[in-house]
Structure 1
Amino acid sequence: MLKLHVTDETSHLKEVILGIAKDNGPVPALEDAYDPKSIEHIKAGTYPKESDMIKEMEAFNAVFEKYNVKVHRPEILKDCNQIFSRDIAFVIDDYFFKSNILPDREKELDAIQYIIDQMDPSKVIRPPGEVHIEGGDIMLWGEHIFIGTYKGADYPDYITARTNMQGVNYIKEMFPGKIVKEFDLQKSNTIAKDNALHLDCCFQPVGKDKAIIHKEGFRDLKDYSYLVNIFGKENLFHIDKDEMYHMNSNIFSIAPDVVVSEKNFTRLNQWLRSNGITVEEIPYAEIAKQEGLLRCSTMPLIRQ
C-alpha cells in the first residue's frame, strides 16, 4: 500500500510519478495546442523533437536515482503527450485528487491507474465535474494551501485558465483546518510572456523559507504582497518576464537543500547556491517549449 504524504514543496522526496516522453505523437495542429508557447514553437517550426525530450527526461530520472527516490512512470499511450504528470492529479496530505482535466487528456489518468491501485481507495478522490483544479496551481506550504486561479468573467474563453473558483472553494471545504489562499493569475491565450499557465509558472517555494516569484504574474498586487508578508522580501528571488517565459520558477525540490534546475538558469542557480542549496543542473530547454518544466513533469506521492 502506498502511504501518501505531501505537506509542502521541499521536504525529502521518497516517491514520485515522473511523466514520460516516449510515443509523444506528431507535432500538434495549432488548434490542438493547449498554451501560447507551444503555438509559438509550432508556428516557428521549433517544436521539440521526441528524441530530445526523452533525453531530457532521462537526465531528470538519473538525478532521482542518485538521491534514491523511487520513481513511477505512466504506462505508454500511443501518440500521447504524457510529460506533464502534475496536471492530471495531485496529493494534499494523504489524499490523492484526480483532476478534471481537459477532456482529451483523460486517458493520461488511465495510464497511471496501476499506481492509483496501490493507494487506499478511500483516499482517492475525484472532485465533482464543475470543479476544475490542476496540480500546477496547487502549492503546499505547512498550514497553507496556495492555489492559482483566474477570476475574470471571461474564464471560459481561456484555455490557459485551468483552476476555477469552484476548485478553490472545494479545497477550502475539504481542508477546513488549513489556510487556503487563492491567487488571481495573468492569463493570455496568445502571448506566452503574459501568461501564467499555473501558479508554479510565477511562484514556487524553495529551501525552508525562500521562494522564487514573478511579481507581474499576479493580477492583483495584494496577492503578491501576501506572499511577501509570508516569506519576507529578502527571501524572495524575483524573476523578470524573460525568466518567467523560460520557466525559472518551475524547478523542482528533492529536499530543502537539493534542487533540480535547468542548466541555463544562470542567475537563479547562483542564487540557490549562495543560499546553501545544491543545484543539480540538467538540460530541459526543449520540454520548456511546451510551457512546462521540472515541477510540471513530476507528481510527488511521498515527502518526509
Structure 2
Amino acid sequence: MLNLNVKNESSRLRAVVLGTAISNGQMPSVDEAYDPKSLEHILAGTYPVEKDMVAEMEAFNKVLHKYDVTIYRPELIADYNQIFTRDIGFVIDGVFIKSNILPERERELDAIQYVIDQMDPKKVVRPPEEVHIEGGDVMLWDDHIFIGTYKGSDYKDYITARTNKEGVQFIKDLFPNKIVKEFDLVKSKIEARDNALHLDCCFQPVGPNKGIIYKSGFREEADYMYLVNLFGKENLFHITRDEMYTMNSNVFSIDSNVVVSEKNFTRLNNWLRSEGFTVEEVPYAEISKQEGLLRCSTLPLIRD
C-alpha cells in the first residue's frame, strides 16, 4: 500500500510518477496543438523529436535515482504523448485526486492505474464532470493550497484554460481546513509568451520560504501582491517574459535545499545557488517546446 503524503512542493521526495517520452507519436497537426508554444514549433518545423526528449527525461531520471527516490513510470501506450504526468492527477495530504483532463488524454490515467491500485481506494477521488482541474494549477504550501484558474467569461473558448471555478470550489470543499487561494491567470491561444497555461508556468515555491514568480502571468495585480505579501518580495525571484516563456518557474524540488533545473537557466540557477540551494542541472529545452518542463513531467506521491 502506498502511504500518500504531499503537503508542500519541496519536502524530501520519496516516491514520484515520472512521465515517459518513449513512443511519443507523430508531430501533432496544427489543429491538434493543445497550446500556443507547441503550435509555434509545429509551424516553425522545430517540434522536438522523440530521441532528444527520451535523452532529456533519462537525465532527469538519473538525478531522481541519485537521491534514492522511488520512481514509477506510466505503462507504454504506442504513439502517445505521456510526458506530462502532472496534468493527470495530484496528491494533497494523503488523497489522490484524478484530474478531469481533456477527453483525448484520458488514456494517460489508465497507464498509471497500476500505481493507483496500490493506493487505499477510499483515498482516491474523481471529481464530478463539471469540475475541471489539472495538477499544474495546484500548488501546496503547507496550510495553503494555491490554485491557478481563469475567470474570463470566455473560459470555454480557451483550450489553455484548464481549471475552472468549480475546480477551485471542489478543493475548498474537500479540504475545509486549508487556506485555498485561487489566482486568475493570463491566457492566450496564440502567443506563448503571454500564456500562463498553469499556475506553475508563472509561480512556484522553492525551499521553505522562497519562490519564483512572473508578475505579468496574473490577470489581477492583487493576486501577485498576495504572494509578495506572503513570501516577502526579497524571497521571490522575478523572472522576465522570455524566462517565463522558457519555463524558468517550472523547476522541480527533490528536497528543501535541492532543485532540479534546466541547464540553460543561468540567471535563475545562479540565484538559487546564492540562496544556498544545490542545483541539479539537466537538459530539458526540447521538452519545453511543448509548454511543459520539469514540474510538469512529475506526479509526486510521497514527500517526508
Q: TM-score range by the shorter chain?
A: over 0.9
Letter in 2 for 1:231: F
Verify: 1:83 aligned to 2:71, yes or no: no
User: How far 1:267 sits from its partner (Å)?
Assistant: 0.2
**1-structure distance, mates of 2:279, 2:66:** 13
Measured against aligned partners, the alpha-carbon deviations of 1:104-156 in whole angstroms (never above 9, x if no partner) come to: 00000000000000000000000000000000000000100000000000000
Matched, 1:179 2:207: no
Task: State whether structure 2 residue 14 is matched by structure 1 residue 24.
Answer: no
Q: CA separation in 1, counterparts of 2:83 and 2:148?
A: 21
Structure 1: state its 5+ residue gaps.
Answer: none
Whole-angstrom distance in 2 between the partners of 1:99 and 1:26: 25
| Distance in 2, Cα, partners of 1:212 & 1:64 | 22
- Paired with 2:7 and 2:66, the residues of 1 have a C-alpha distance of 23
Q: Which amino acid aligns with 1:261?
A: S
Show the 5 A alignment for 1:117-136.
Answer: 117-136=117-136
User: RMSD across aligned C-alpha pairs, in angstroms?
Assistant: 0.3
**Structure 1 residue 208, shift from structure 2 partner:** 1.1
Query: Which runs of structure 2 are paired with 1:85-234 in the superposition (5 Å)?
Result: 85-234=85-234
In the alignment, the residues of structure 2 paired with residue 33 and residue 121 of structure 1 have an alpha-carbon distance, to the nearest angstrom, of 34
Aligned-pair CA distance for 1:96: 0.2
Give the share of equivalent positions with the same residue, in percent.
71
In structure 2, distance between residues paired with 1:194 and 1:30: 19
Q: In structure 2, what residue type is equivalent to 1:276?
A: G
User: Quick one: which amino acid aligns to residue 77 of structure 1?
Assistant: I
1:41-80 pair list within 5 angstroms: 41-80=41-80
Correspondences of 1:281-292 after superposition (within 5 Å): 281-292=281-292
CA distance in 1, matches of 2:208, 2:125: 29
Q: State the TM-score, normalized to the length of structure 2.
A: 1.00
The number of residue pairs the alignment matches comes to 304
Q: Give SS of 2:145's match.
A: strand
Residue 9 of structure 1 pairs with residue 12 of structure 2: no
The AA in structure 2 aligned to 1:213 is I
> Offset at 1:58?
0.3
Aligned residue type for 1:260: V
| CA–CA distance in structure 2, aligned partners of residues 76 and 18 of structure 1 | 12
Secondary structure, in 3 states, of the residue corresponding to 1:296? helix
Unaligned runs of 5+ in 2: none
- What CA distance in whole angstroms lies between the structure 1 residues aligned with 2:258 and 2:281? 11
Q: Deviations over 1:2-32 (max 9, x none)?
A: 0000000000000000000000000001111
Match of 2:302 in 1: 302
How high is the TM-score relative to the length of structure 1?
Answer: 1.00
